[in-house]
Amino acid sequence: MSKKNRNGIVYSTNPDFEYQSDGQSAAETLPPAQQNFKIWLVKLGGNKVVTAVRGFIGTEADLSELGKQLKAACGAGGSTKDDEILIQGDHRDKVLTWLVGKGYKAKKAGG
């Protein structure tokens, strides 16, 4: 379990302490028609630009697979982490066209 999901627990003096989650399992991946993506253009340090696809609801494996397909469609590198897909370069139009073609709801966001 990710440490960022441990709400309220800072430190325990009990040597046998095991953090118990609230029974929340990984979210099931929604079908394409129910996904609602926002496509952002993000500028990183050093004048690097990446296309960020946010709003994915589902498992890490499905996010990774979708990211792999998007990177191949754009012909660029990138990564998937924290429920978002990052693609190197400004590929907003290609990503939007590809996602809409596959049945996803997507739109450009940001300035």
pLDDT in tens, 46-68: 889 999 999 999 999 999 999 99
Is there a domain that residue 62 lies in?
yes
What residues make up the domain containing 97? Answer: 36-111
| Whole-structure pTM value | 0.73
How far apart CA 99 and CA 21 sit, in angstroms, is 34
Per-residue pLDDT tens over the stretch 79-106: 998 889 999 999 999 999 999 999 999 9
Q: Cβ(74)–Cβ(89) under 8 Å?
A: yes
Residue written as token pair 């012909």: 75
Residue 46 domain-assigned?
Answer: yes
Assigned domain for 105 exists: yes
**Residue 28 to residue 8: CA distance in whole angstroms:** 25
Long-range contacts formed by 69-78: CB under 8 A, 24+ apart: 69/98, 70/95, 70/98, 70/99, 73/98, 74/98, 78/50
